[in-house]
């Protein structure tokens, strides 16, 4: 019988050729590091609903879902129509527009903690701007982040994020303090170091919940700690915003941050993001007809494509759809069906592992089990890390692609409302087959 890698090459020959070409065009052969699958990535052609189609015409059940940005699946009519209509009216108006007003209202309606909003072009830009605002507001230089958590790829958030630090100056690394994922440790650090401007936290745990926080208590305790120390509390809701509930993790668990960073679902599948929060912090970006303030002290932010009309109409359409509640409910139900089916497959195949997660993100651990409720898993960080090395994740993702399913990083599923029961069952069947094949190859 052919090996998984041989079957992978046989199923996706067009991608083999295109990757050879890409290596001569792109640094590292790819335009996004998370899209790489060993020994070559799959080149996609188009997508619709819960499916995407590669250059060889294979129909693939998609759980990457635009890296988590597509809560309603590919090409939801309301978003597609808004984008199509705006394309004919101008892609860049070079000035303020009514679209950005409606866009901002859609954000504020869903997130009560947001007094003001400012738009960006990505999640990385959003966390970058939030940290700059916190430093300006407090007059302090350092930030505190948590071990393993990812907040983009700018210098301040690289330490212990799972990303390599090539090209990052030591001076930038020195302004970032890393805490274990424990509010008592964070409290001790803030007590000892009075130059910390902000604490930033992934609202569902590192890597979108792969290493879960013990919510809601963690976020609630962290809110209390930051308030007591006069430190800006930044909730990174790039992944969780408008997914864990209509108002994100903060609404789900009743936590009010000082600043919130957003992207993904917020932009309706387009390249957009934002920062929102308390007026007293956000207003540091405003002009005051004071030359010294305006040119020296004001927090500056440019960005050619901030609230670009196509992004603004797509994001508005997506958020107005989220506001109905129907799409979150549908995605959550599909994720529960998927999670239960994955756990049944583990049992049936006598393979150690489990699926867990809340709302419409399903996390997967291949190699360790625990007695968690399959919602907020309490497995220790070190155990999750140890049992899911890169080689195992890559092999699982390759096996799932052979069986017609794509999942980000071989360790999670972003579920959308477009994943109906039949599609979810198809994914469970693919996972069952993949476990059998991994056993045959001695991976599990």
Cα–Cα distance measured from residue 351 to residue 367, given in angstroms and rounded to the nearest whole number? 8
Scanning 261-376, the segments in alpha helix (DSSP H) are 279-282, 291-292, 309-322, 326-348
The domain ranges of the chain are 4-74+325-440, 77-322
CATH of domain 4-74+325-440: 3.90.1150.10
> Quick check: do 4-74+325-440 and 77-322 share a fold?
no
Cα–Cα distance measured from residue 234 to residue 230, given in angstroms and rounded to the nearest whole number? 13
Q: What pLDDT is stored for residue 230 in this prediction?
A: 97
Q: What pLDDT is stored for residue 403 in this prediction?
A: 98
Q: What pLDDT is stored for residue 381 in this prediction?
A: 82
From residue 407, give the alpha-carbon distance in Å to each of 112, 373, 411.
33, 23, 7
Q: Are 331 and 360 in contact (CB under 8 A)?
A: yes
Q: Are 222 and 201 in contact (CB under 8 A)?
A: yes
Cα–Cα distance measured from residue 66 to residue 125, given in angstroms and rounded to the nearest whole number? 18
Kindly state the tokens that stand for 296: 């020296």
Q: What pLDDT is stored for residue 207 in this prediction?
A: 84
Q: What's the count of helices (H) and strands (E) in the chain, helices before strands?
A: 18, 16
Q: What pLDDT is stored for residue 101 in this prediction?
A: 97
Q: Which residues contact 86 (CB under 8 A, 6 or more apart)?
A: 99, 309, 310, 313
Q: What pLDDT is stored for residue 35 in this prediction?
A: 76
List average pLDDT for each run of 10 residues in the chain, which is 444 residues long: 91 94 85 80 96 98 97 97 96 94 98 97 97 98 94 88 82 87 96 98 90 88 98 98 97 97 96 98 96 95 94 98 96 98 97 95 92 89 86 94 96 97 98 96 89
CATH 3.40.50.300 fits domain 77-322: no
To the nearest 10 degrees (0 to 180), the angle between helices 390-402 and 4-11 is 50
Concatenating the DSSP letter of every residue in 258-272 gives SEEEE-GGGGTTSS-
pTM given for the model:
0.95
Q: Which residues contact 101 (CB under 8 A, 6 or more apart)?
A: none
Peptide bond into 186 cis (omega under 30): no
């Amino acid at each position: 019988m052919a090996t998984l890698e041989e079957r992978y090459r046989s199923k996706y020959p067009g991608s083999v050729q295109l990757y050879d070409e890409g290596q001569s065009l792109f640094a590292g052969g790819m335009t996004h590091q998370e899209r790489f699958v060993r020994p070559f990535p799959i080149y996609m052609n188009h997508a619709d609903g819960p499916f995407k189609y590669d250059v060889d015409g294979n129909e693939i059940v998609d759980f990457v879902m635009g890296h988590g940005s597509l809560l309603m699946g590919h090409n939801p009519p309301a978003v597609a129509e808004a984008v199509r209509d705006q394309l004919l009216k101008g892609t860049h108006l070079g000035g303020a527009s009514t679209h950005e007003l409606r866009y901002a209202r859609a954000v504020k309606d869903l997130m009560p903690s947001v007094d003001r909003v400012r738009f960006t072009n990505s999640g990385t830009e959003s966390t970058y701007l939030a940290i700059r605002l916190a430093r300006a507001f407090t007059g302090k230089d350092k930030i505190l982040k948590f071990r393993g958590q990812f907040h983009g790829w700018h210098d301040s958030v690289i330490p212990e994020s799972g990303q390599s630090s090539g090209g990052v100056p030591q001076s930038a690394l020195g302004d970032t303090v890393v805490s274990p994922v424990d509010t008592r440790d964070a409290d001790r650090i803030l007590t000892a170091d009075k130059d910390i401007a902000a604490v930033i936290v992934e609202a569902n745990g590192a890597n979108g919940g792969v290493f879960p926080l013990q919510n809601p208590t963690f976020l609630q305790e962290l809110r209390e700690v930051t308030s007591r120390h006069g430190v800006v509390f930044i909730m990174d809701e790039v992944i969780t915003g408008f997914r864990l509930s209509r108002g994100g993790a903060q609404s789900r668990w009743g936590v009010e941050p000082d600043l919130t960073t957003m992207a993904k679902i917020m932009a309706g599948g387009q390249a957009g993001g934002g920062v929102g929060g308390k007026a007293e912090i956000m207003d540091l970006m405003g002009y005051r007809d004071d030359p010294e303030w305006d040119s020296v002290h004001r927090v500056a932010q440019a960005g050619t494509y901030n609230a670009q009309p196509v992004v603004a109409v797509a994001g508005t359409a997506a958020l107005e759809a989220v506001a109905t509640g129907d799409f979150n409910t549908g995605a959550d139900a599909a994720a529960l069906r998927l999670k239960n089916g994955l756990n049944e497959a583990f049992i049936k195949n006598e393979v150690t592992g489990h699926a867990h997660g809340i709302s419409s993100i399903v996390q997967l651990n291949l190699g360790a089990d625990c007695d968690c409720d399959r919602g907020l898993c309490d497995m220790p960080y070190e155990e999750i890390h140890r049992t899911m090395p890169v080689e195992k994740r890559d092999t699982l993702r390759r096996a799932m692609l052979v069986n017609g399913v794509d999942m980000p990083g071989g360790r999670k599923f972003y579920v959308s409302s477009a994943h109906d029961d039949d599609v979810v069952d198809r994914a469970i069947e693919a996972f069952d087959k993949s476990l059998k094949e991994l056993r045959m190859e001695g991976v599990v």
